[in-house]
Amino acid sequence: MIQDDVLAESRDKMAKARDHLQGEFGSIRTGRASPVFVEKLRVDYYGSEVPLQQLAGFSVPEPRLLVISPYDKNSIKAIEKAIQASDLGITPSNDGSLIRLAFPQLTAERRKEMVKIVKHRAEEARVAVRNVRRSARHDLEAFQKEGEISEDDLDRAEKELEKLTHEYVAEIDNLAAHKEQEMLEV
């Protein structure tokens, strides 16, 4: 059935919008250390740009301390340079074999800024889900005009599409609420 294909495609696109938001939230800094903040950093390693996760292992021995263990000790300077050039705002320290990143406690003002960013990103995800709904609805109406699906099938598919949209918007709202709570935790 054509309408089932449109709904399946819409479900996939809405899931991608939600998953993208989860990834975005992972990169928003809370007061805790996490490898997510640095693993995608591009490091100039022997003339080529390489993600940090391919050059080093990560551990979090304390809530605000991230330890980076390079596989190749010669890459320490390049890794440090990439961290300093990033927008993390943290100065790395090394002892010749490990790099330590001490994450400072976030100020109340900075937490509020981060909550605004979380709300903005969540709204972008909601808009993406609604755009998928609009596009799918347009496709369904075009199929109905061409006589490929009946009026009843169109109504059923639109109700299902609406239900899908509400489910994904609710998931996005839950993700945002959870991240806001995490941001405001001291």
In the numeric block, which tokens belong to residue 117? Answer: 């960013």
Cβ-count burial of 141 within 10 angstroms (0-12 exposed, 13-18 middle, 19+ buried)?
Answer: middle
Whether residues 43 and 70 share a domain: the answer is yes
CATH number for the domain that contains residue 125: 1.10.132.20
pLDDT exceeds 80 at position 75: yes
Query: What range does the domain containing 116 cover?
Result: 2-27+107-184
Query: Does the structure show a pLDDT above 70 at 29?
Result: no
Residue 115 shares a structural domain with residue 162: yes
Nearest to 111 by CA among 21, 30, 22, 38: 30
Average pLDDT, the chain: 87
Q: 80 is written with which tokens?
A: 């440090």
Instruction: Residue 52: give its domain's CATH number.
Output: 3.30.1360.40
For residues 2 and 149, the answer to whether their CB atoms sit within 8 Å is yes
The pLDDT confidence band at residue 73, using thresholds 50, 70 and 90, is confident
113 and 23 share one domain:
yes
Q: Say yes or no to pLDDT of 110 above 70.
A: yes
**pLDDT of 37 above 70:** yes
Instruction: Provide mean pLDDT across the span 59-82.
Output: 88
Spatial separation of the C-alpha atoms in residues 184 and 24, rounded to whole Å: 18
Please check whether residues 80 and 21 belong to one and the same domain: no
Rounded percentage of the chain residues whose pLDDT exceeds 90? 34
Q: Are residue 122 and residue 170 in the same domain, yes or no?
A: yes
User: Domain check: are 51 and 91 in the same one?
Assistant: yes
* Whether the predicted pLDDT of 30 surpasses 70: no
| Last residue in a domain, options 102, 118, 134 | 102
> What is the domain count for the chain?
2
Please give the Cα distance from 28 to 113 (Å, whole number): 11
Does the pLDDT of residue 150 top 70, yes or no? Answer: yes
37-41, 88-92, 129-133 — which one is most confidently predicted on average? 129-133
Domain end: 49, 73, 102, which one? 102
* Same domain, yes or no: 74 and 163: no
CB 129 within 8 Å of CB 171? no
> What pLDDT is recorded for position 134?
95
Q: What is the arithmetic mean of pLDDT over 46-56?
A: 87
The confidence score (pLDDT) of residue 167 equals 95
Looking at the fold, whether 98 and 112 belong to one and the same domain comes out as no
Residue 117 shares a structural domain with residue 67: no
Same-domain check for residues 41 and 66: yes
Please tell me the pTM assigned to this model: 0.69
Domain boundary among 102, 121, 147: 102
Comparing 127 with 53, the larger pLDDT belongs to 127
111 or 139: whose pLDDT is higher? Answer: 139
Judgement on whether residues 132 and 113 belong to the same structural domain of the protein:
yes
Q: How confident is the model at residue 64 (pLDDT cuts 50, 70, 90)?
A: confident
Residues 49, 81 within the same domain: yes
